[in-house]
Structure 1
Amino acid sequence: MPTGTAIRDARDQLFAAAERVLLRDGPSALTSRAVTEEAGCAKGVLHRHFADFDTFLAELVRSRIDRLALLTAQLESSTAPVADALAAALTDLFDPVAVATVALVVSRDGLRTRLRETTPAGIPLLAEATELFATHLAAERMRGRIAPEADVHALAPTLIGTGHLLFADRTGPAPDAETVRRAVGAVLGGEARGPASP
């Protein structure tokens, strides 16, 4: 695309291009040149919308964190057994782009430093997902669907860590639904209970 041509929704197009580069080539290939070439625009377009490339990357990660609201809604509306709902949520959470985004965050110290403004501890995206799961587990405990003594602040990071290990190999096949369900069941152990109270 010629330098003088405006592109609509530039931020979204640049984010989508960055995600394609991440999926195809991995975090080490993610450069401003790779993103703008993938988006089909001049390099200056990125710098018109973001102070620098680290700012762009931080906003890219934050856009993934913002999508966790969809996962919250999914869990809140689910009537499935707790383990089934959590297994489905883990599968949705660890889509290929999210797995690549976590690898990006882990591989770039400067990016993690930049993200400390909004994620003071832990690995950004995983930390927010862990909090989401803890909140959901606490709600399920209130409903009587998990044991009243269940430690949701221990269960949540264990579930997120288990999910990440299951889906971390972005080049191999994703685990099937039954594998994820068995892993969630093993983490929950005897904590899960019967149907939800009305």
Structure 2
Amino acid sequence: MPTGVPMGDARQRLFDAADRLLLQGGPSALTSRAVTDEAGTAKGVLHRHFADFDDFLAEFVLDRAHRMDERAAALRESAGGGTVVDNLTETLSALFGSVAVGIVALVTFRDGLRSRLRETWPAGVPVLTDAVEMIADYLAAERELGRLAPDAVPEGLAPMLVGTAHLLFADRTGAPPTREALRNAVASVVGGAMAERPQASGNS
């Protein structure tokens, strides 16, 4: 290859560069020139690996969405340990403190990117739809363990949690929400679904 950089390495360098730019400057910071400059590669490298810039962005978004698998496994394994509210708070904080909020804005405001994503992602926004599935799976596990009420509906609670967290983190110009604020929001969503503690025998 003319660049001397293996394709996989070049892709990862470009994706990592896009990550940094998105975190630092939001969607408007992502241009092909900015990405190659940040990655320290020649300008033609991006176009050797991708049909155009929207093709690059689509692959970048899908790559970040697929990284949710490890986070999902960790959350699933936390079922039964700690508290439900704390487990969810930590997961949502890590998710929205990362590039997730920027990806949502990126997908929302680039028509060409949305069009490319629809070819392989028929509905929803990558990362957010993964987050909903991840949290629903975790809540289902907690329900099986008896820490959520038997009539709790994970498929309804999960999008409420993701939507609430997204609103809290969406303002990129201000300070991110405190952990206490996020925890209170999580508690307000799942509080009614928690299993009731059995009363002490002497209280009846």
Give the TM-score normalised by the residue count of structure 2.
0.87
Aligned residue number for residue 119 of structure 2: 117
Aligned residue number for residue 73 of structure 1: 73
Distance 1:40 1:93 in 2: 27
Secondary structure in 2 matching 1:124? coil
**Post-superposition offset of 1:117:** 3.0
Of 181, 190, 195, the residue aligned with 1:193 is 195
Secondary structure in 1 matching 2:184? helix
Task: Mark the runs of 5 or more structure 1 residues left unpaired by the alignment.
Answer: none
**Alignment pair present for 1:10 and 2:45:** no
Distance 2:119 2:153 in 1: 28
**Post-superposition offset of 1:69:** 1.2
Structure 1 runs, 4 residues or longer, greater than 3 Å off: none
Distance 2:40 2:34 in 1: 10
User: Any conservation in 2 of the 1:130–1:157 contact (CA below 8 Å)?
Assistant: yes
Aligned residue number for residue 23 of structure 1: 23
Distance 2:83 2:107 in 1: 33
Q: For residues 76-95 of structure 1, what are the structure 2 equivalents within 5 Å? A: 76-78=76-78, 79-95=81-97
Equivalent residue letter for 2:93: T
Aligned residue number for residue 144 of structure 2: 142
**Post-superposition offset of 1:5:** 4.5
Distance 1:85 1:194 in 2: 19
Residue correspondences, number: 192
User: Any conservation in 2 of the 1:141–1:148 contact (CA below 8 Å)?
Assistant: yes
Distance 1:137 1:119 in 2: 24
Distance 2:186 2:99 in 1: 22
**CA-to-aligned-CA distance 1:119-146 (integer Å, 9 cap, x gap):** 2112221112111111211121111111
User: Any conservation in 2 of the 1:96–1:170 contact (CA below 8 Å)?
Assistant: no
Aligned residue number for residue 54 of structure 1: 54
Equivalent residue letter for 2:112: G
Identity %, equivalent residues: 58
Q: For residues 103-182 of structure 1, what are the structure 2 equivalents within 5 Å? A: 103-182=105-184
Calculate the aligned-residue CA RMSD, in Å: 1.7
Secondary structure in 2 matching 1:146? coil
**Post-superposition offset of 1:194:** 6.9
**Post-superposition offset of 1:118:** 3.3
Larger radius of gyration: 2
Secondary structure in 2 matching 1:172? coil
Shifted more, 177-186 versus 166-175: the winner is: 166-175
**Post-superposition offset of 1:52:** 1.7
Equivalent residue letter for 1:10: A
User: Any conservation in 2 of the 1:119–1:127 contact (CA below 8 Å)?
Assistant: no
Equivalent residue letter for 1:57: L
User: Any conservation in 2 of the 1:83–1:192 contact (CA below 8 Å)?
Assistant: no
Give the TM-score normalised by the residue count of structure 1.
0.89
Distance 2:120 2:131 in 1: 14
Equivalent residue letter for 1:49: H
Distance 1:187 1:167 in 2: 17
User: Any conservation in 1 of the 2:149–2:196 contact (CA below 8 Å)?
Assistant: no
**Post-superposition offset of 1:27:** 0.7
